[in-house]
Amino acid sequence: MLYDIFIDPFVQMGAQPDFLIQVLWEGFVSGILYALIALGFVLIFKASGVFNFAQGIMVVFAGLTLVGLHEQGVPAFLALILTIGVMGVLAYGIERVVMRPLVNQPDIILLMATIGLTYFLIGFGEFVFGGEPKRMITEELWLPTGSTAIEFGERGLVLLQHIDIAAAVIAVLMVSGLALFFNKTRIGRALRAVADDHQAALSVGISLNQIWAIVWFAAGIVALATGIMWGARSDVSFALEIVAFKALPVLILGGFTSVPGAIIGGLIIGFGEKLGEIYWGPLVGGGIESWLAYIIALIFLLFRPQGLFGERIIERV
Amino acid sequence: MNAVTAAKVVPAQPVAAPEPEREVLLKVDNVSLSFGGVKAITNISFDIRKGEIRAIIGPNGAGKTSMLNVINGFYHPQQGTITWRGEVRRKMRPYEAASQGIARTFQNVALFKGMTTLDNIMSGRTLKMHRNFFWQVLHYGPARDEEIAHRRKVEDIIDFLEIQAIRKTPVGKLPYGLQKRVELGRALAMEPELLLLDEPMAGMNLEEKEDMSRFIIDVNQEFGTTIALIEHDMGVVMDLSDRVVVLDYGKKIADGAPAEVQASQEVIDAYLGVSH
Amino acid sequence: MARLANVAGGDVDTFPKILLRNARDLGERTAMREKDYGIWQSWTWAGVLEETRAFSLGLRQLGLTAGDKVAIVGANRPHLYWSMVAAQALGAIPVPVYADSVAEEMSYVLSHAEVRFAIVEDQEQVDKLLSMEDLTSLKHIVYDEPRGLRDYDHTHLSHFPAVQDMGRAVLAKDAGAAAAWENGFAAQKGSDIAVMLYTSGTTGRPKGVMLSFDNLVISARNGNEFDRLDETEEVLAYLPMAWIGDHVFSLAQAYTAGYCVNCPESLETVDLDRLEIAPTYFFAPPRVFESMLTRILVRMEDASRLKKKMFDFFMDVARRSGEKILNGENVPFTDRLLYSLGEIMVYGPLKNRIGFTRLKVGYTAGEAIGPEIFRFYRSLGLNLKQLYGQTEASVYITLQPDGEIYGDTVGKPAPQVELKIADNGEVLYRSPGVFVAYYKNEEATRATKTEDGWVLTGDAGFIADNGHLKIIDRAKDVGKLNDGALFAPKYIENKLKFFPNIKEAVAFGNGQDFATVFINIDLTSVGSWAERNNVNYASYQELAANPDVYAMIQDHVDQVNRDLAGEPMMAGSQIRRFLILHKELDADDGELTRTQKVRRSFIADRYAPLIEALYDGSTSRHVRTEVTFEDGRTGIIEGTVEIRDLTPHAPRHQLQEAAE
Amino acid sequence: MFYREAGQFKTTYEADQALFPIRQDRIAMGLILAVAFVAIPLLANDFFLTSIMIPFLVFSLAAIGLNILTGFAGQLSLGSGAFMGVGAYAAYKLTSIFPDANVIVLVLISGVFSAGIGAIFGLPSLRIKGLYLAVTTLAAQFFLEWCFIRIPWLYNYNASGAIEIPRREVFGVIVTGAEALPLTRYFIVLSIVVVIAFLVANVIRGRIGRSWMMIRDMDIAAELMGVRPLQTKLLAFGVSSYICGVAGAMMVFFWLNAAEPSSYSITLSFQILFMVILGGLGSIAGSFLGAAFIWILPVFLRFLPGLFGVEVAAESIQHVTFMIVGALIIFFLIVEPHGLARLWQIGKQKLRVWPFPY
CA angle D148, D152, D158 (to 5 degrees): 105
pLDDT-based confidence at residue C180 (cuts at 50, 70, 90): very high
CA angle A222, A227, A229 (to 5 degrees): 100
Query: Closest to D9 (Cβ–Cβ): which among C40, C350, C353?
Result: C40
Three-class SS state of B15: coil
Is residue C417 within 8 A of residue C430, CB to CB? The reply is yes
**Structure pTM?**
0.85
Q: Give B64→chain A minimum CA distance, Å.
A: 12
Query: Subunits with at least 3 CB pairs below 8 A relative to chain C?
Result: B, D
Is residue C12 within 8 A of residue C21, CB to CB? The reply is yes
Is residue C543 within 8 A of residue C530, CB to CB? The reply is yes
Mean pLDDT of chain A: 81
Dihedral (CA of A287, A288, A289, A294) sign: positive
Q: Quick check: is A21 in a domain?
A: no
Query: In D, which residues are within 8 Å of A120 by CB distance?
Result: 322-323, 326-327, 330
Q: What is the pLDDT of residue C655?
A: 40
- The answer to whether the CB atoms of B3 and C139 lie below 8 A apart is yes
Q: Give B25→chain D minimum CA distance, Å.
A: 19
Mean predicted confidence (pLDDT) in D151-179: 89
Q: Give B239→chain A minimum CA distance, Å.
A: 27
Write the CA distances from C259 to A182, C4, C34, C245, integer angstroms: 81, 10, 14, 16
Q: What is the pLDDT of residue A207?
A: 73
pLDDT digits (tens, 9 = 90+) for D35-55: 999 999 999 999 999 999 999
* Percent of chain A residues past pLDDT 90, beyond the cut: 3
Q: Give C157→chain B minimum CA distance, Å.
A: 8
- The answer to whether the CB atoms of B110 and A317 lie below 8 A apart is yes
- The answer to whether the CB atoms of D357 and C299 lie below 8 A apart is yes
- The answer to whether the CB atoms of C352 and D4 lie below 8 A apart is yes
Mean predicted confidence (pLDDT) in A185-204: 65
Confirm or reject contact between A317 and chain B (CB < 8 A).
yes
pLDDT-based confidence at residue B14 (cuts at 50, 70, 90): very low
Higher-confidence residue of D298 and D222: namely: D222
Instruction: State which residues form the domain around A290.
Output: 27-303
Q: Quick check: is A4 in a domain?
A: no
Nearest CA in chain B to C131: B5
- The answer to whether the CB atoms of B65 and A317 lie below 8 A apart is yes
Q: What is the pLDDT of residue C587?
A: 83
pLDDT-based confidence at residue A125 (cuts at 50, 70, 90): confident
Q: How many domains does chain A have?
A: 1
CA max distance for chain C: 82
Q: Give B76→chain C minimum CA distance, Å.
A: 39
- The answer to whether the CB atoms of C357 and D7 lie below 8 A apart is yes
- The answer to whether the CB atoms of C355 and D6 lie below 8 A apart is yes
Q: Which domains does chain C have, with CATH numbers?
A: 5-277 (3.40.50.980), 282-382 (no CATH), 395-476 (2.30.38.10), 479-659 (3.30.300.30)
- The answer to whether the CB atoms of D11 and C299 lie below 8 A apart is no
pLDDT digits (tens, 9 = 90+) for A7-32: 888 888 878 878 888 888 888 888 88
CATH class in words for B22-101+192-276: alpha beta
Q: What is the DSSP string of B172-193?
A: GGS-HHHHHHHHHHHHHHT--S
Q: What is the pLDDT of residue B8?
A: 44
Q: What is the pLDDT of residue C203?
A: 62
The answer on pLDDT for B18 being more than 70 is no
- The answer to whether the CB atoms of D333 and A113 lie below 8 A apart is yes
CA distance C506 to C514: 14
The yes-or-no reply on B/C contact (3 CB pairs or more, < 8 Å) is yes
Residues 6+ apart with CB under 8 A from B6: none
Query: In D, which residues are within 8 Å of C296 by CB distance?
Result: 356
pLDDT digits (tens, 9 = 90+) for C557-595: 999 998 888 766 677 889 999 999 988 888 888 888 877
Query: Closest to B167 (Cβ–Cβ): which among C38, C135, C138?
Result: C38
Annotated domain spans of chain D: 47-353
Q: What is the pLDDT of residue C221?
A: 94
For testing contact with chain B, the best of C62, C130, C159, C270 (most B CBs within 10 A): C130
Helix residue ranges, H only, C78-176: 78-89, 103-113, 123-130, 160-173
Chain B: which residues have CB within 8 Å of chain C? 1-5, 7-9, 11, 118, 151-152, 155-156, 158-160, 162, 164-165, 167, 218, 221-222
Query: In B, which residues are within 8 Å of A312 by CB distance?
Result: 36
Q: What is the pLDDT of residue D333?
A: 85
pLDDT digits (tens, 9 = 90+) for D104-120: 999 999 999 999 999 99
Query: In A, which residues are within 8 Å of D316 by CB distance?
Result: 127
Annotated domain spans of chain B: 22-101+192-276, 112-191
pLDDT digits (tens, 9 = 90+) for C342-363: 999 999 999 999 999 999 999 9
Query: Closest to B2 (Cβ–Cβ): which among C136, C148, C268?
Result: C136
pLDDT digits (tens, 9 = 90+) for B106-144: 988 899 988 999 999 999 999 888 888 888 887 778 888
The yes-or-no reply on C/A contact (3 CB pairs or more, < 8 Å) is no
| CA-only gyration radius of chain A, Å | 20
Buried b (16+ CB within 10 A) or exposed e, D276-287: bbbbbbbbbbbb
Mean pLDDT of chain B: 85
Nearest CA in chain B to C134: B1
Q: What is the pLDDT of residue C267?
A: 85
* Window C:227-266, CB contacts with B under 8 Å: 265-266
Is residue C351 within 8 A of residue C345, CB to CB? The reply is no
- Single-letter code of the amino acid located at C439: Y
- The answer to whether the CB atoms of B136 and D214 lie below 8 A apart is no
Query: Closest to B136 (Cβ–Cβ): which among D207, D218, D221?
Result: D207
CATH architecture of D47-353: Orthogonal Bundle (1.10)
Write the CA distances from A295 to A29, A301, D147, integer angstroms: 21, 10, 14
Q: Give A298→chain D minimum CA distance, Å.
A: 6
Write the CA distances from C476 to C421, C425, C457, C575, C608, integer angstroms: 15, 10, 11, 20, 20
Confirm or reject contact between A314 and chain B (CB < 8 A).
yes
Most confident of the following: A74-88, C129-143, D182-196:
D182-196
Closest to D54 measured CA to CA, from D190, D173, D168, D181:
D190
Query: In B, which residues are within 8 Å of A315 by CB distance?
Result: 74
For residue A51, give the CATH number of its domain: 1.10.3470
pLDDT-based confidence at residue A200 (cuts at 50, 70, 90): low
Half-sphere CA count of A99, side-chain side, radius 13 A? 24
Query: Closest to C42 (Cβ–Cβ): which among D11, D355, D356?
Result: D11
Using left for φ > 0, alpha for ψ between -120 and 50, and beta otherwise, residue D294 falls in alpha
pLDDT-based confidence at residue B272 (cuts at 50, 70, 90): low
Closest to C620 measured CA to CA, from C604, C644, C638:
C644
CA distance C594 to D34: 56
Query: Closest to D210 (Cβ–Cβ): which among B98, B104, B119?
Result: B119
- The answer to whether the CB atoms of A116 and D328 lie below 8 A apart is yes
- The answer to whether the CB atoms of D5 and C352 lie below 8 A apart is yes
Q: Give A224→chain B minimum CA distance, Å.
A: 42
CA distance B14 to B52: 10
pLDDT-based confidence at residue C554 (cuts at 50, 70, 90): very high
pLDDT digits (tens, 9 = 90+) for C192-231: 999 999 986 656 789 999 999 999 999 999 999 999 999 9
Mean pLDDT of chain C: 89
pLDDT digits (tens, 9 = 90+) for A209-250: 777 888 888 889 888 888 888 888 777 777 777 777 788 888
The answer on pLDDT for C630 being more than 70 is no
- The answer to whether the CB atoms of A116 and D142 lie below 8 A apart is no
Confirm or reject contact between A205 and chain D (CB < 8 A).
no
Strands in C422-532 per DSSP E: 426-430, 437-438, 455-463, 469-474, 479-480, 486-487, 502-508, 515-521
CA distance A286 to C304: 64
Q: Give B127→chain D minimum CA distance, Å.
A: 6
**β-pair type (C140-143, C157-159):** parallel
pLDDT digits (tens, 9 = 90+) for D124-149: 888 777 777 888 888 899 999 999 99
Most confident of the following: A135-139, B268-272, D319-323:
D319-323
Q: Quick check: is A17 in a domain?
A: no
The answer on pLDDT for A203 being more than 80 is no
Q: What is the pLDDT of residue C653?
A: 52
- The answer to whether the CB atoms of D326 and A118 lie below 8 A apart is yes
The answer on pLDDT for C476 being more than 90 is no
Confirm or reject contact between D227 and chain B (CB < 8 A).
yes
Higher-confidence residue of B181 and C403: namely: B181
The yes-or-no reply on A/D contact (3 CB pairs or more, < 8 Å) is yes
Is residue B111 within 8 A of residue D175, CB to CB? The reply is no
Residues 6+ apart with CB under 8 A from B270: B58, B59, B246, B248, B253
Confirm or reject contact between D3 and chain C (CB < 8 A).
yes
Query: In B, which residues are within 8 Å of C157 by CB distance?
Result: 4, 7
Q: What is the pLDDT of residue C568?
A: 61
Using left for φ > 0, alpha for ψ between -120 and 50, and beta otherwise, residue D312 falls in beta
pLDDT digits (tens, 9 = 90+) for C389-402: 999 999 999 999 98
CA distance D345 to C449: 62
pLDDT digits (tens, 9 = 90+) for C607-616: 999 999 999 8
